[in-house]
Copies of this chain bind each other. A is one copy, B any other.
Amino acid sequence: MASAVRPNGNATQNGHVPNVVAPLDASRLKIERATTLKPIPAPGSYSFGDIHTDHMLVCKYHPSTGWSAPEIKPYGPLAIDPSSNCLQYASNVFEGMKAVLNPEGKPCMFRPRDNMKRLLTSAKRMALPAFDPEALLTCISTLVTLESRWIPSLPDHRNSSLYIRPTMVGTKASIKVGASDEALLYAIVTPVGPYFPVQKIGGVSLLAVSEHVRSWPGGTGGFKLGLNYSPGFVPQQAAAALGYDQVLWLLDEDKKITEAGAMNFFAVAERDDGGITIVTPPTDGTILPGITRDATLVLLREHAKNPSANLLNVPFPPNVQIEERPLTVNELAAWAAKGQLLECFGTGTAVLVVAIDRIGDFDVSDDFEDTGSAVSEIKEKKRKMREITLKGGLVGLGPVGKALWDKLLALKEGREQYMGWNVLCE
């Protein structure tokens, strides 16, 4: 674990590199406890992401010395130079994870090593220094354990958790356009309830957007970078102004679906032969390779392969097809027109699984000019909009989405175990 790293942070094969610097080393973790602890708000009394707990994890990288000793210390502002790479050029990467108390009352996480691996991949894409992912996980586990009084527990398994936000930002204090060889790696935690307001759990609505494009081939949509998110704020405001909860991101003239808000997208359709097809867009670099997305696919495929084991407690027809392939909004519309669109849902760490019950789409070619504020232009088009709805006007999760929700929540909460996905904090 504590192998030597070079100034660029990559592990070396031997110790003979002259400028060896310190690796991220969990055994050097220092803990400074807050002198007074904050009161815990009642679950359900706050919005997603607003609460700051008592402590945070911080570690710094400098090319001449490597990683500093990680520190858990009282939550508070970071001192960032105004010329820092992160503020100037957005070399910021992050992860989203959740901790809950398992039935024995112990904090546990869902597939945390996948988050560590993805954070490392994101850091590499931003030319930020590498780190030992296992060391970071150990430090995060210690932070979660220290903050475990903040883990909320709603009755009836409504997806309350302690959300964990590992973050890494380039801190080189120079406005020269180029990679930052200094970095700050930190993690904060925040108690969260359901991502969407309770009344919305029935299902969220999406506005299909073509005039703003979240990601493209050769872009950065396949990495978890801060910069993939702020370009969506204005389209999100436009969607909200039209009465939709989130944006359905499209790509190209054929309106390929990439993501739904900050979630991966799944559709369940009835085929003419009576079987069902479950489709999600492929991880071709234009969508985030979601960990909940991956877990969903693994569970669906295992269930389809061995129906008698009844992994998901839902009957699948014998000829179910599970497909990772490009999916267009026009396909959804065609299925809906024939009454064959059974379910749509989004997956993600924040939401787990959430029903999508309607999609607004401009069934016209887009001659939209980007003025930075899309509301007025979109409003003009509203009368030309079609709505895609589910078979029978279904609202809320259908049988596939509900089975996935139940299974993933049980795995997340440690009530069940599968492939070692539930990991205890130490």
CB distance A169 to B370 under 8 Å?
no
Interface: A243 (CB within 8 A)? no
Interface: A179 (CB within 8 A)? yes
Interface: A167 (CB within 8 A)? yes
Give min CB distance, A208 to chain B, whole Å: 13
Q: Given A82-B78, A218-B210, A90 and B226 touching (CB < 8 A)?
A: yes
Partner of A56, one of B75, B82, B218, B225: B82
Q: Chain A, 235-258, contact with B by CB distance < 8 Å: what is the 0/1 string?
A: 011000000000000000000000
C-alpha gap A372/B285 in the complex (Å): 11
Q: Given A175-B163, A372-B121, A230 and B79 touching (CB < 8 A)?
A: no
Residues from 57 to 83 in A contacting B, C-beta threshold 8 Å: 75, 77-83
Interface: A92 (CB within 8 A)? yes
Q: Which residue of chain B has the shortest Cβ distance to A285 in the bound complex?
A: B370
Q: Given A121-B372, A218-B213, A82 and B177 touching (CB < 8 A)?
A: no
Instruction: Identify which of A81, A127, A173 gathers the most chain B CB atoms within 10 Å of its CB.
Output: A127
Binds B, one of A34-42, A43-51, A266-274, A408-416: A43-51
Give min CB distance, A395 to chain B, whole Å: 24
CB distance B49 to A226 under 8 Å?
no
CB distance B233 to A176 under 8 Å?
no
C-alpha gap A223/B82 in the complex (Å): 21
Give min CB distance, A379 to chain B, whole Å: 17
Give min CB distance, A367 to chain B, whole Å: 12
CB distance A237 to B167 under 8 Å?
no
Q: Across the interface, which residues of B come within 8 angstroms of A174, CB to CB?
A: 47, 49-50
Give min CB distance, A329 to chain B, whole Å: 15
Interface: A219 (CB within 8 A)? yes
C-alpha gap A52/B82 in the complex (Å): 10
Q: Given A90-B227, A165-B83, A220-B231, A237 and B179 touching (CB < 8 A)?
A: yes
CB distance A190 to B175 under 8 Å?
yes
CB distance A90 to B90 under 8 Å?
yes
Q: Given A83-B52, A169-B87, A370 and B216 touching (CB < 8 A)?
A: no
Give min CB distance, A284 to chain B, whole Å: 10
C-alpha gap A91/B92 in the complex (Å): 11
Interface: A125 (CB within 8 A)? yes
Interface: A89 (CB within 8 A)? yes
CB distance B48 to A126 under 8 Å?
no
Partner of A230, one of B170, B186, B229: B170
CB distance B87 to A178 under 8 Å?
no
Q: Given A92-B87, A216-B219, A177 and B229 touching (CB < 8 A)?
A: yes
Q: Across the interface, which residues of B come within 8 angstroms of A127, CB to CB?
A: 230, 233-234, 237
A-B contacts, 26 of them at CB < 8 A, read: A47-B174, A48-B175, A50-B174, A78-B80, A80-B80, A83-B188, A87-B169, A88-B165, A88-B167, A89-B229, A89-B230, A90-B230, A91-B233, A121-B372, A125-B231, A177-B229, A179-B234, A179-B236, A179-B237, A210-B218, A212-B218, A213-B219, A218-B370, A223-B372, A227-B227, A285-B370
